[in-house]
Homo-oligomer: A and B are copies of this chain.
Amino acid sequence: MVHCLPAATVSRLPLYHQILKSLLDRGRDFVSSDTLAKLMSIDPSLVRKDLASLGSGTQRLGYHVATTMASIETILGMRNTKEAFLVGVGSLGRALLAYRGFCDYGLKIVAAFDTDNSKVGQTIGDAKVMAAEKLPGLARRLGIRMGIITVPAGVAQHVAEVMVESGITAIWNFAPVMLEVPEFVLIRNENLAAGLARLSYDYEQRLNNTKEGEGEQP
């Protein structure tokens, strides 16, 4: 059993998996670290380090595609179904409910919750929208361990606390706030605005540099 892979390696595993899957679909049995590196736009030495940390050995022909895929699936628990509740049926909540890519990771959003009664009763993706106050009872009854937060920033902490009190121990947070949760709760913050901020910053820098460059012309 592999323990404690570097976080950066874990982040790259979905992309490895996707590339390996497309190679397998095209009938490829083996792939070299050079080919993988090119497809991922990273250095071949990093590919070798990543795959060595999974316990994938190289053979003369390269990495065995199907075996390497299977290792990734085991490590990420892609074959183990993880049932989750989602709270906050706004535009982002709806998108996550409708997104089909998560089932590849064994994630199944079984129900969604919102305080807006006009949304209650709707079905989005495979999940039914329920009244927020039903979350604690249902989470305990169904033994739900994973929660997804897509509410506005101002109420996210409250939602996290309700989730934790209801037995949820892994939270995927899309609200742009840092949540305070007990030590035993796993938390993963996703921040779309941070990505946009990075792109905006680089964009502004370039505009400014261009203007400065123009200023230097006679």
Contact = CB atoms under 8 A, between A and B. Distances in A.
Given A203-B186, A206-B186, A76 B197 contact: yes
A12 to B, nearest CB: 8
Given A1-B208, A206-B186, A10 B201 contact: yes
Interface of A: 1, 3-5, 7, 10-15, 18, 39-41, 75-78, 80, 82, 91-92, 94-96, 98-102, 104-107, 145-146, 153, 170, 172, 176-178, 180, 186, 188, 190-208
Nearest to A14: B193
A196 B178 contact: no
Given A18-B153, A41-B178, A208-B1, A172 B186 contact: no
A145 B12 CA distance: 29
Contacts of A96: 95
Contact of A201 (B75, B191, B205): B75
A52 to B, nearest CB: 17
A196 B11 contact: no
A7 B203 contact: no
The A interface, classified by DSSP as helix, strand, loop or mixed, is helix
**Interface hub of A3, A100, A197 (most chain B Cβ within 10 A):** A197
B10 A176 contact: no
B176 A199 contact: no
A13 to B, nearest CB: 5
A158 B87 CA distance: 36
Contact of A204 (B11, B75, B107, B198): B75
A124 to B, nearest CB: 9
A214 to B, nearest CB: 15
Contacts of A7: 198
B11 A198 contact: yes
B203 A170 contact: yes
A177 B18 contact: yes
**Interface hub of A5, A15, A206 (most chain B Cβ within 10 A):** A15
**Interface hub of A75, A105, A195 (most chain B Cβ within 10 A):** A195
